[in-house]
């Protein structure tokens, strides 16, 4: 029985003996190679369903197939939920034995959490095809090594599979986890600059009026982009002129943090962003700016973070330390230009509306970059064009997606050079709100717990965070409290439980319990 965080865990996959079954033999032809490439692309598509929910973890997808026929799929819905591999083998059932699993990325099999590898092994998977090795150094190669040690055949794109047929599949695997790849390579979150402009390159009239340049269909796409992001960045001008709300409004379980950058803190006392019931707000400023407003914002629940000198790179490094993977910039030209110049913007989404408003002094999406010749212009990479309603969406990368898959020498080659070195021993990279290096249990850990209710009967909770948030409303004789308890208990992920608990606590402080919660945890086994 595998161990998770030092406790025994029983998987929900069908009961199977560990006797290895020979892999199902399918004809190796060009058509079969193309079929495998299509299955890897499918794994990337499935992984993309979790975009915005899994941070700080990657987007994982798993497709299980027998001779090209898909028998099971799964994706990591959110942090603290079942891994993609376990979901896929549960759906495949007995058909998983001897089948091939296609993974867009090597599992993050770390800190004693072996669920991904163990579920594949227990289900009798005979072969695993992996799009990318894990980009984080302390995880790279470990799951591959674990699978091979269990006599599972593992093929990795670019190493064991090098046909040109797999180029599009590799690109799909890179794209679906671009945020993690950029984060690992540059030590800042993956940052996307989004703006809507007229055909003559204006984001507002000379008076500053900008509602609406783009169509309703385009604005719907913006909500999707927000839902895939951990944070949204705007400047002080946007707050003063537009008073935005900056919520995803998509009905999903993920709500990005809203970040305001303002050196002088010349911001209004009242703004929609200061309402933190629906979404959290962070205001970044320079040290000592408007202490009076800082106090007012703090009383409203807004977090104020001071920097010695406020700049885009320092703010993104701060977001990196908080574990953010993806940041959406919805700012004006005064802020977008220095962000581009500092190298923290990686991709651009430009919604171009078929309108002309003119105006010499009408603002444009990007301010002065100091360029005097066209040869200095920044060229986008991998540009896409898409019709969105009446608008045209042009997107592309300012910096190519980093492919962190190294040329890894064999263990024999390394041991000849230095017998004391292991090819998989690398430094630890810590994340915010995840397992610590010793496998310690956290509120967001994906393990059910049993805790007694008021009558002494054990109730099963999806995670510790579900239990913690729900018990803010225990012991209060009020229908709102009972409803809040049930909503939180049924939340699909610990992030959703946390968001619900905090939101309901802010909205109805009168129904929260004052009792102290004592944690005595029993992990289900």
Q: Which residues contact 250 (CB under 8 A, 6 or more apart)?
A: 223, 224, 226, 227
Q: What's the N-to-C CA distance of the chain in angstroms?
A: 10
**Within the chain, how many helices (H) and strands (E) appear?**
15, 19
Tell me which residue of 326, 320, 370, 372 sits closest to 349, measured CA to CA: 326
d(CA 39, CA 68): 8
3-state secondary structure of 126: coil
- Cα 172 to Cα 38, 176, 262, 297, 361, distances in angstroms: 10, 6, 37, 43, 42
Q: Phi and psi of 220, rounded to 5°?
A: -65, -40
CA–CA dist 41, 35 (Å, integer): 10
150 is catalytic: no
What is the DSSP code (8-state) at residue 516? P
What is the residue whose two structure tokens read 């709102």?
480
The single residue of 36, 45, 73, 85 carrying the catalytic annotation is 85
Q: Quick check: helix, strand or coil at residue 273?
A: helix
Q: Which residues contact 516 (CB under 8 A, 6 or more apart)?
A: none
Render the burial of 61-97: b for 16+ CB within 10 Å, e for the rest.
Answer: bbbbbbeeebbbbbbbbbbbbbbbbbbbbbbbeebbb
At residue 192, the 3 state secondary structure works out as strand
- Residue 352 token pair: 């171009």
CB–CB of 129/40 below 8 Å? yes
Q: Please, are residues 72 and 92 in contact by the beta-carbon 8 Å criterion?
A: yes
Q: Which two three-digit tokens encode residue 145?
A: 């090594």
Active-site positions read: 85
């Amino acid at each position: 029985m595998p161990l998770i965080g030092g406790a025994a865990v029983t998987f929900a996959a069908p009961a199977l003996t560990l006797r290895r079954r020979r892999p199902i033999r399918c004809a190796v032809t060009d058509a079969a190679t193309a079929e495998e490439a299509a299955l890897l692309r499918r794994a990337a598509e499935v992984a993309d369903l979790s975009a915005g929910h899994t941070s700080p973890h990657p987007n994982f997808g798993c497709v299980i197939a027998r001779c090209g026929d898909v028998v099971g799929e799964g994706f990591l819905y959110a942090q603290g939920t079942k891994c993609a591999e376990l979901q896929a083998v549960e759906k495949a059932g007995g058909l998983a034995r001897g089948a091939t699993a296609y993974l867009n990325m090597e599992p993050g099999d770390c800190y004693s959490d072996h669920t991904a590898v163990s579920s594949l092994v227990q289900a009798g998977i005979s072969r695993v095809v992996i799009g990318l090795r894990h980009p984080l150094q302390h995880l790279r190669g470990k799951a591959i090594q674990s699978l091979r040690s269990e006599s599972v055949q593992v093929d990795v794109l670019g190493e064991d599979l090098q046909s040109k047929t797999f180029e599009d599949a590799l690109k799909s695997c890179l794209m679906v986890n671009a945020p993690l790849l950029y984060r690992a390579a540059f030590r800042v979150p993956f940052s996307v600059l989004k703006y809507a402009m007229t055909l003559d390159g204006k984001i507002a009239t000379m008076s500053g009026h900008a509602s609406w340049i783009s169509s309703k269909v385009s604005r719907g796409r913006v909500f999707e982009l927000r839902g895939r992001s951990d944070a949204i960045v705007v400047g002080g001008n946007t707050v003063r002129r537009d008073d935005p709300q900056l919520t995803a409004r998509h009905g999903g379980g993920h709500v990005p943090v809203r970040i305001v950058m303002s050196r002088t803190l010349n911001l209004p006392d009242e703004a929609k962003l200061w309402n933190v019931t629906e979404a959290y707000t962070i205001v970044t400023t320079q040290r000592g700016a408007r202490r009076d407003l800082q106090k007012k914002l703090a009383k409203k629940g807004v977090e104020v973070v001071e920097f010695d000198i406020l700049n885009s790179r320092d703010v993104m490094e701060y977001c990196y330390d908080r574990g953010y993977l993806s940041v959406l910039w919805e700012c004006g030209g005064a802020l977008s230009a220095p962000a581009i110049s500092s190298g923290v913007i990686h991709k651009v989404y430009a919604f171009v509306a078929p309108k002309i408003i003119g105006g010499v002094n009408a603002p444009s999406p990007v301010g002065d970059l100091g360029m005097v010749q066209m040869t200095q212009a920044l060229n986008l990479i991998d540009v896409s064009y898409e019709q969105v309603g009446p608008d045209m969406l042009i997107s592309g990368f300012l910096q190519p997606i980093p492919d962190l898959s190294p040329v890894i020498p064999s263990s024999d080659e390394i041991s000849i050079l230095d017998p004391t070195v292991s090819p998989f021993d690398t430094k630890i990279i810590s994340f915010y709100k995840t397992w610590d290096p010793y496998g310690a249990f956290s509120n967001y850990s994906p393990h059910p717990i049993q805790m007694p209710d008021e009558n002494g009967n054990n109730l099963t909770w999806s995670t510790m965070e579900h239990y913690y948030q729900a018990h803010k409303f225990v012991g209060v004789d009020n229908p709102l409290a009972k409803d809040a308890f049930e909503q939180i208990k049924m939340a699909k992920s610990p992030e959703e439980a946390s968001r619900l608990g905090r939101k309901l606590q802010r909205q109805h402080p009168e129904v929260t319990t004052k009792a102290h919660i004592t944690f005595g945890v029993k992990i289900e086994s």
